[in-house]
A and B are shown apart, each in its own frame.
Chain A
Amino acid sequence: MATTLGASLGRVFRRSHLGTEADRATFRTLHEASLAGPALREGLTEASAERSIRHLRSLLGAPVVALTDTQRVLAWDGPGAHHSDQVAALARSTEATQVAGPSQLGCHLVSCPVQHVVVSPLVVDELVVGHMVVGTPYPTAGLVRATDEVAAWVSGQLDLAELDASRRRLVEAEVRALRAQISPHFVYNSLGAIASFVRTDPERARDLLLEFADFTRYTFRRQGDFTTLAEELRSIEQYLLLEQARYGERLRVVLRIAPEVLPVQVPFLSLQPLVENAVKHGLEGREEGGTITVVASDLDRECEICIEDDGVGEDPDVVRRALAGTGDSVGLANVDERLRHAFGDEYGLVVETNVGAGTRVVVRVPKYAEGLHP
């Protein structure tokens, strides 16, 4: 009696909250799709295929599902894995959804469910990147249709993966561009300035060349996204020395660094572009030259780095656009994005400027950030 009551109560409960049988089937489908999605959005690899294939199989309700790339089988869920070589060969020659029967598979095992396979291509950017293969004892039109639809959905997820990857590649390319950003002008001008000292002051010319070598080695460094503030400042110092060789008295530099913050971890080449900007803005259109001030101070759990010039300044709207990434200064937006990415949104760049008022860029960096390794 109690069981009956419980069951009927359960039915009432389910019906009122989860809808009809058809609704629930839809929910199940959507749920399986949502489980398979995240793995596929990492791209089509053995690992992602392995993680998503179980959900794809229950989505299709088929006994066997496999995913291949253009060469081989990446993952196989269900019995009949001895067909994987045949399936891979079949997939290589498939351009549109097709069904292969026992004549191509030739399976004599009675218990093997892979008597027929439905092969459907996965297409990203009009290119076939792999196939979804569904094995079944007897193919139905419904299964072929379902396979087709699921393959199209998987293709859509892979499209997104491609989008993610290209966005990541873009950021990496920007960092690489920054690293290689020592502008031809800088190289040309530095070498020119050094050349002018070769006769008059050979000792200084030699020192400057060594600084130049050190500076380029640091900037072209390949490994590591992070570095210590000490190293970053060292490279800034070399950069400023070289610029001073060129501008002479016109470029005045003040550095005020609290030694306590030198071990702090900062993103590689995050300050150098800012100093370069400051030199450019500080000297632009001013015969008498200008002063660049770099201050690093200790704020207990954080470190604050200010880069300041007393030059012509900038319209705040231009800076706002540059920070939003729509202006023409790649450096500023890139530094801002990398700081936010590493330490969180509250650690973005702060730029204080106005026309004729000089520019001050403030970078805050936490001494300890979770998940960031020294």
Chain B
Amino acid sequence: MNHAFGATAVAVVSVLTIGIGIWGLRFSRTTSDFFVASRTVRPALNATAIGGEYLSAASFLGVAGLVLTYGAGMLWYPVGWTAGYLVLLTLVAAPLRRSGAYTLPDFAQARLRSKQVRVATSALVVAIGWLYLIPQLKGAGFTLNLATGLDNRLGGLVVAVVVLVNVVTGGMRSVTFVQAFQYWLKLTALLVPAVFLLMVWFGDGATSPADAVFDLPGRSGWADPLSGLGAHPMYTTYSIIVATFLGTMGLPHVVVRFYTNPDGRAARRTTLVVLGLLGLFYVLPPVYGALGRMYAGDLVGAGTADTVVVELPTRMVGGTGGELLAALLVAGAFAAFLSTSSGLTIAVAGVLSQDVLGRRFGGIASFRLGACIGVGVAYVFAVLAEDVGVATAVGLAFAVAASTFCPLLVLGIWWRRLTDVGAIAGLVVGGLTSGSAVVRTFVATEDSGWFSTLMAQPALWTVPLAFTAMVVGSLLTPDRRPPHVTRFMVRLHTPEAVGVDRG
């Protein structure tokens, strides 16, 4: 594509994001037009901000690439990434808000009154944050490569630096309005080109992508629900479902947004709106994947299927129009990297500065150092793990979150007998099993045995294992139940309108 257009798009998005980060929304108000109560963040706005922070490179680019390469079976990813909020809505959203916790370690400490559980959850927040940052930087690398001709690694470095500048200068303000803007930018960037592409497709006779001729061995049955899921499609499907449905609640940068809601009811409403917004967004990436099947099938062979979203406009529309649409997509993709990476970096840096560096350095200094370490380590891993696909890495991050934080949250909220020993047992078992699967996927070459399948999609066995460890560990140590548990449960589960003593 035209590098000038691409570079401009990237520059505009970067400057806008950093500029808004630094200067913020610094308009002031006088008392006459200011009413605090009317300014709490409304569920709709907060939901849009969650959407903006949540929709990452994997959603923007990865899903289309997966659908193009492997077929309909991959639709479980967008479905799961949306439905995760359904589980969050029914089981977690309102009680988590009522607990008063800001981060996941806060919740663990409030529920179990244990410093050790706090340390364990903090470590996991950092691990999941890194795992999720790696694909963001990788995706940014090859998008920049496509847009500006920059080397992959250099592109990743550019994004890492932009994120760091953003977080260090002004990013500590998690400005809701900016994140909400990012959602609409991403949606527009995907929607407008899709309309043009579909018009071209209609003009070409609207043939079914399933019939597209493109020569690759073992890629028949593209429209088959179990297509492209490896040697054990049924297991893989259910494992993806478990990981994505249960992993969403364990994403550190999403959880902190719930604190902005004034109460549990607003938290629930927010989640409901998020479901709608994500449902709307996730219609689009598969469209690109399906169109790519007809117009950009060669990308699969070249191993660059993740770029299909950006490639399509130049191929299908062509000319300056196509270039402009491609530049819009690049801008959207770049917004996706920046917003998600910034949110994750803040989460990681927060943990590092509070629980690791805080004692040695002052508040702001330790936060900045934490941000540098957070992004630096993620970048190194992104360079080392070049062969791992964007969506695969994100999928693994979800699997780890589902195997650790999901049991902690669900049992912590709904089961009175959970103890600190049980929680640590579950976190260790879930973390080690899913973590070893991550390591194995990052270093091993592909093969199709059962062991390899279990390691590539670990959630279906690691999640039940973690739940079991947590339950058994708790039942074995009944004397370690925190004394305040009944009072805490009352606080979590009583609607704010009911006048009970929550103290």
Contact = CB atoms under 8 A, between A and B. Distances in A.
A253 interface: yes
A253 B262 contact: no
Contacts of B106: 368
B360 interface: no
Interface residues of B, number: 36
A15 to B, nearest CB: 39
A374 B28 CA distance: 29
A130 B172 CA distance: 59
A228 B367 CA distance: 26
B498 interface: no
B267 to A, nearest CB: 10
B100 interface: yes
B230 to A, nearest CB: 41
Interface of A: 228, 230, 233-234, 237, 240-241, 244, 252-260, 262-263, 265, 297-301, 367-368, 370, 372-374
Nearest to A298: B173
A298 B261 CA distance: 14
Contacts of B48: none
A367 B367 CA distance: 16
B259 A259 contact: no
B109 A255 contact: no
Contacts of B172: 298-300
Which 8 pairs show the lowest CB-CB distances between chains A and B?
A374-B100, A367-B102, A368-B106, A368-B102, A233-B36, A259-B41, A254-B28, A234-B36
A256 B28 contact: yes
Given A230-B36, A373-B100, 12 more contacts: A237-B34, A241-B31, A253-B31, A254-B29, A256-B26, A257-B34, A262-B40, A300-B174, A300-B350, A368-B106, A368-B110, A374-B98
A295 to B, nearest CB: 9
B40 A255 contact: no
Contacts of B102: 301, 367-368
Residue of B28, B31, B103, B175 most packed against chain A (CB within 10 A): B31
A300 B257 CA distance: 11
A262 B103 contact: no
A228 B496 CA distance: 14
Contacts of A374: 98, 100, 491, 502
A300 B98 contact: no
A260 B34 CA distance: 16
A368 B107 CA distance: 9
B392 interface: no
B39 A265 contact: no
Contacts of B354: 301
Interface string B22-59: 00001011110011110111000000000000000000
B176 A260 contact: yes
Interface string B478-503: 00000000000001000000000011
Contact of B39 (A262, A368, A370): A262
